[in-house]
C-alpha cells in the first residue's frame, strides 16, 4: 500500500541531519539552517552533524541517534540530509520502520542518502523523495523548485530534458513509453542493496539512475550487475539522470557511459533516455520514490498523474 506524507506548512519543523559524511565546514550548517528558515520552516539541526569518525559524521550510533530522533519525534515534519558521502548503509538495520510507517513524514536527500530513501520506501510503502541535499541548494531557481515540491499537493513537476540550444532534443537510443512505480536511485547505492531486505522491487517500475564523480568503468560494473541479475528485464523504462563529473579518469576504456549503458539496454529493447534533470547537479528536480509515473523516452519526459503529498 502506497502511503503519502503530509505536505509541509509554514513554521513546520524540519530536521537537518548527516546520516553519511559530515559537511565540509561549519558554515554549510549555518547556511543549511538559513535555507530551511527562508523556506518558511523551523530548522532543527542534528546534534552530531559536525561530528567526525573517519569519513563519516560521527560514529554509527551518533548518526543513528540524530536520524532516529528525526523520524520518531512527532513535532518534526520532515527530515532533510545536509550532505552525502558514505555511511548511510550502516544504519539501515536499525531504523525505526514501524514508527515511520505509523507517522510518515517527508524524507529527502540524494547521493549516499539514497540507501535510506530506498530502504524506507521498501519496508514501509511511504513515498520518499530523491532531491538535492542541502549543501547542493545553490540557486534561487532550485530553492523555489524544492520548496514547491515539499509544500504542494499538485502533481509533481514533470522531468523534461532541456538542451540549451535544441529544446526538443533528447538522446534516446530506444524510443517508447514506460509506466510504473518510479524508483529513483543512485546507481552505486542501488546495487549495494542487492540481496538485502532493503532491496527495492524493480518489477514493473520506471527506473531512474544517477551517480556522481565516478569512473565510467565502475559505473559499467554496477550496470552490468543489474543486467546479469535479470532485474533490468522487469523494468518498463529506464531514465538516466545527471552523471556529474563521471568520466574515464584515465582508464583504458575510453567509451562514454552513454555507450556502455546503451550496449546493455538496446538489445533488451527497453525504452531509455539520457540526461533527465535528476541527480546531484544544480539542474535536478525532486523525484517521489514509489509514485506511479510515465516516461516518454522520445521526448525525454517523465510525468505524474497524481500528487505525492497530502494536505
- Considering the entire predicted model, what is its pTM? 0.97
Task: For residue 2, tell me if it sits in a domain.
Answer: no
Q: How high is the pLDDT of residue 164?
A: 83
Q: Which of 47, 83, 85 is nearest to 67 (CA)?
A: 47
Retrieve residue 42's grid coordinates: 523551523
- Between CA 237 and CA 124 the distance in angstroms is 24
Residue 265 domain boundaries: 159-304
Task: For residue 5, tell me if it sits in a domain.
Answer: no
List strand residue ranges (DSSP E) for 53-154, in order. 76-81, 106-109, 128-130
Q: How high is the pLDDT of residue 255?
A: 84
Give the CATH number, domain containing residue 256: 3.50.30.60
Retrieve residue 65's grid coordinates: 541517534
Task: For residue 241, tell me if it sits in a domain.
Answer: yes
Q: How high is the pLDDT of residue 249?
A: 74
Q: How high is the pLDDT of residue 70?
A: 98
pLDDT by 10-residue block (mean), the chain, 311 residues: 97 98 97 98 98 96 98 98 97 98 98 98 98 96 97 96 85 96 97 97 97 92 94 96 86 80 91 94 91 96 97 95
The residue from 99, 117, 151 where one domain ends is: 151
The residue from 151, 182, 206 where one domain ends is: 151
Q: How high is the pLDDT of residue 248?
A: 84
List strand residue ranges (DSSP E) for the chain, in order. 13-17, 42-45, 76-81, 106-109, 128-130, 159-160, 177-186, 206-212, 237-244, 272-273, 287-289, 292-296, 301-304
Q: How high is the pLDDT of residue 252?
A: 64
Q: Which of 284, 280, 290, 285 is nearest to 111 (CA)?
A: 280
One domain, residues 181 and 291: yes
Retrieve residue 117's grid coordinates: 530513501
Retrieve residue 249's grid coordinates: 579518469
Give the CATH number, domain containing residue 128: 3.40.50.10740
Task: For residue 176, tell me if it sits in a domain.
Answer: yes
- The answer to whether the beta carbons of residues 159 and 287 sit under 8 Å apart is yes
One domain, residues 131 and 250: no
One domain, residues 46 and 105: yes
> Looking only at Cα atoms, what is the longest distance across the chain?
53
One domain, residues 174 and 285: yes
Q: How high is the pLDDT of residue 67?
A: 98
Count structural domains, the chain.
2
Q: Which of 39, 288, 283, 245 is nearest to 138 (CA)?
A: 283
The residue from 151, 184, 202 where one domain ends is: 151
Q: How high is the pLDDT of residue 50?
A: 97
Amino acid at each position: 500500500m502506497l502511503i503519502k506524507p503530509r505536505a509541509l506548512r509554514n513554521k513546520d519543523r524540519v530536521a537537518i541531519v548527516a546520516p553519511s559524511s559530515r559537511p565540509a565546514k561549519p558554515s554549510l550548517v549555518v547556511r543549511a539552517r538559513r535555507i530551511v528558515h527562508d523556506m518558511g520552516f523551523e530548522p532543527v539541526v542534528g546534534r552530531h552533524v559536525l561530528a567526525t569518525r573517519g569519513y563519516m559524521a560521527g560514529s554509527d550510533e551518533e548518526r543513528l541517534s540524530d536520524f532516529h530522533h528525526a523520524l520518531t519525534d512527532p513535532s518534526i515534519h520532515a527530515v532533510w540530509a545536509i550532505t552525502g558521502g558514505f555511511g548511510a548503509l550502516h544504519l539501515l538495520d536499525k531504523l525505526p520502520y514501524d514508527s515511520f510507517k505509523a507517522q510518515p513524514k517527508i524524507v529527502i536527500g540524494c547521493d549516499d542518502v539514497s540507501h535510506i530513501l530506498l530502504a524506507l520506501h521498501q519496508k514501509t510503502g511511504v513515498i520518499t523523495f530523491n532531491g538535492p541535499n542541502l549543501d547542493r541548494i545553490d540557486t534561487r531557481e532550485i530553492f523555489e523548485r524544492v520548496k514547491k515540491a515539499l509544500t504542494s499537493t499538485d502533481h509533481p513537476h514533470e522531468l523534461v530534458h532541456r538542451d540549451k540550444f535544441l529544446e526538443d532534443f533528447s538522446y534516446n537510443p530506444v524510443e517508447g513509453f514506460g509506466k510504473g512505480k518510479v524508483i529513483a536511485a543512485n546507481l552505486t547505492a542501488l546495487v549495494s542493496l542487492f540481496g538485502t531486505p532493503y532491496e527495492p522491487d524493480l518489477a514493473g517500475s520506471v527506473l531512474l539512475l544517477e551517480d556522481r564523480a565516478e569512473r565510467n568503468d565502475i559505473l559499467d560494473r554496477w550496470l552490468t550487475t543489474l543486467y546479469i541479475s535479470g532485474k533490468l528485464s522487469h523494468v518498463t523504462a529506464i531514465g538516466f539522470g545527471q552523471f556529474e563529473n563521471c568520466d574515464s579518469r584515465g582508464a583504458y576504456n575510453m567509451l562514454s557511459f552513454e555507450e556502455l549503458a546503451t550496449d546493455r539496454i538496446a538489445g533488451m529493447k527497453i525504452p531509455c533516455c539520457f540526461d533527465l534533470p535528476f541527480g546531484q547537479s544544480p539542474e535536478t528536480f525532486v523525484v517521489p520514490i514509489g509514485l506511479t509515473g510515465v516516461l516518454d523516452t522520445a521526448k525525454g519526459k517523465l510525468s505524474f498523474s497524481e500528487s505525492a503529498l497530502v494536505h
